[in-house]
Amino acid sequence: MKNTLLGAASAVFLMTGGSFAAPADQPGHVSPKPGSNTEAMSAVKDTTAGVVGQVSSQMTSTTQGFVTAAATSDMYEVTAGKLAASRAQSAEVKEFAAMMVKAHTGTTTKLKGIIASNNITVTPPAHVDNRRQGMLDDLRGAKAEDFDHRYIAQQVAAHKEADILFRGYAKDGDNAAIKDFAGATDKDIKMHLSMAQKLDTKTKSASN
């Protein structure tokens, strides 16, 4: 998103019991080498990941659930954006990726401030979950000619998921300050989704 979500580096997010922090990869994880994945394999895996990554009611109603989902999404987005900024072939994709790094670093900083100023105790994850780890590996293992479309395809799915998450918490969340944050951020998520969808059409045509 992000599973949001919206500076060229990931900000460290320290809170009670955990952190939004770099590196996003799980401890001891070994990523695939560039060019080791086929586009067909990665597309199937990412589609499956999207199905698995349904937004639960806990994520849209409880502070712990929302913060966990938002933190995981931000870590994925910043890491994926950095990969795209260095590996993408298209200047438009590189520009979009840089925007995502800045935006998702920004949402992390904003949420950190809200949590600190409201004395909210939550335990965010320190690394991405298995699903986002797999998505990052699909990007890292993508062939050069497949990278742009794989990244943008993931971005479309991630921002659709983030829209559901943030829109849902803005409606049903249990903390007023974070609800306001979620509602305001969702406007940016919708804008980024629209941008990603336009790029998806372009990168799909270029990869055929």
Read off the pLDDT band of 35 (50, 70, 90): low
Tell me the Ramachandran region of residue 43: left when phi exceeds 0, alpha when psi lies from -120 to 50, beta otherwise: alpha
> Among 45-49, 81-85, 100-104, 137-141, whose mean pLDDT is lowest?
45-49
CA-CA-CA-CA torsion for 169, 174, 180, 184, nearest 10 degrees? Answer: -10
Answer whether residue 71 is part of any domain.
Answer: yes
Whole-number pLDDT of residue 18: 40
Answer whether residue 4 is part of any domain.
Answer: no
Residue among 97, 73, 76 at smallest CA distance from 86: 97
Whole-number pLDDT of residue 16: 34
Q: Is the pLDDT of residue 36 over 80?
A: no
CA distance 53 to 47: 10
CA distance 35 to 190: 32
Read off the pLDDT band of 11 (50, 70, 90): very low
Q: For the residues 91-101, what does the mean pLDDT come to?
A: 97
CA distance 2 to 93: 16
Answer whether residue 123 is part of any domain.
Answer: yes
Residues in the chain: 208
Q: Domain containing 198 — which CATH number?
A: 1.20.1260.10
Answer whether residue 201 is part of any domain.
Answer: yes
Answer whether residue 5 is part of any domain.
Answer: no
Total domain count, the chain: 1
Answer whether residue 120 is part of any domain.
Answer: yes
Answer whether residue 179 is part of any domain.
Answer: yes
pTM of the model: 0.79
CA distance 166 to 89: 31
Whole-number pLDDT of residue 150: 95
The whole domain housing 133 covers: 13-207
Answer whether residue 91 is part of any domain.
Answer: yes
Q: Is the pLDDT of residue 47 over 80?
A: no
Radius of gyration of the chain from its Cα atoms, rounded to whole angstroms: 16
Mapped onto helix, strand or coil, the DSSP state of residue 37 is strand
**How many other β-carbons are positioned within 10 Å of the β-carbon of residue 168?**
20
Read off the pLDDT band of 103 (50, 70, 90): very high
Structure tokens at 51: 């199905």
The per-residue pLDDT for range 63-84, each reduced to its tens digit, is 999 999 999 999 999 999 999 9
Q: For the residues 26-50, what does the mean pLDDT come to?
A: 65
Burial of 98 (0-12, 13-18, 19+ CB in 10 A): middle
